Structure 1
């Protein structure tokens, strides 16, 4: 699924989970999604696409990534605006892990590149947004995900029916909050669920 498609109006079919958070159940069979919190960017009869928002990418910072992608030369690192260092780099999912996807607030928009999702959250997957952030002209809130999670038609619905996922409403703290490790429990608390209540079927430490 290409996230570049422009959405002009929201579909009235709210059976789909666009703009919702998926919370992995402890019994999740796919290790790649263990204790994952996923923001769903697109969900339709054609499948689903989302970004894992609570798994940090190892050993790389956003400024380092700007240099690697040749958005800025290494010599300019010292001149970056202060807020650039606060942008978190996440492991967004197992699909296209070499590609960057920026989830961000709706105060930044690139015509034909930015996908508005829901409740003031957008997705942009072009270098232009990285350049804007590096100049201090980017969105007020942003996270950069390497890769994304994808589901074939009907696959996500089947996984939900098999108790693989819970879902809750998204909020900016769950997406952009600095406490990445605490997001999973925070999402469960929104549903009034304690992690310990879910752990009965998880027989491993």
Structure 2
């Protein structure tokens, strides 16, 4: 487990994290019961006993309530740390393995699957996930550029980072589409194997 995943949080950070976890769970309960399209921010706020402005401050949009994952910033920082000594694929493989393991430990797998249903099947959430992936790709290539001296806007890093993000996105889509029958860790690892060796046909 990385230092970022185990370091103690301050009181304010703990309170914010607890509130965001609570709101996300309340929202998913409402989505499951009444349908995503029929649940407003105001209803989520009332059920979670917080103000609508708090939800907007924490998440920004209803879609981000589903997409928010407390491990995202941890993953980016850990990737940055690992790049000092590893190539991008090895660093990302190690970080994702740790993040997926931590997520499965802290959140029951059923909860992750519930979020995944809306990510894959709700058009507005899936569109937001695509935009989030684009933003993550930019962050990754800036991080890789910092460690390699390559141009963050050059073709090489654009292709590498889009390939890595796309591999992860397709891995979680496959996990959902295959009915979660295989381990997410194994699927992510297999997707990165494909990127690492390149596509061979025949």
The structure whose RCO (Cα within 8 Å, separation 6+) is larger is: 1
More strand by share: 1
Which has the greater radius of gyration?
2
- Normalising by the smaller structure, the TM-score range is under 0.3
Q: Please, what TM-score do these two structures have when normalized by structure 2?
A: 0.27
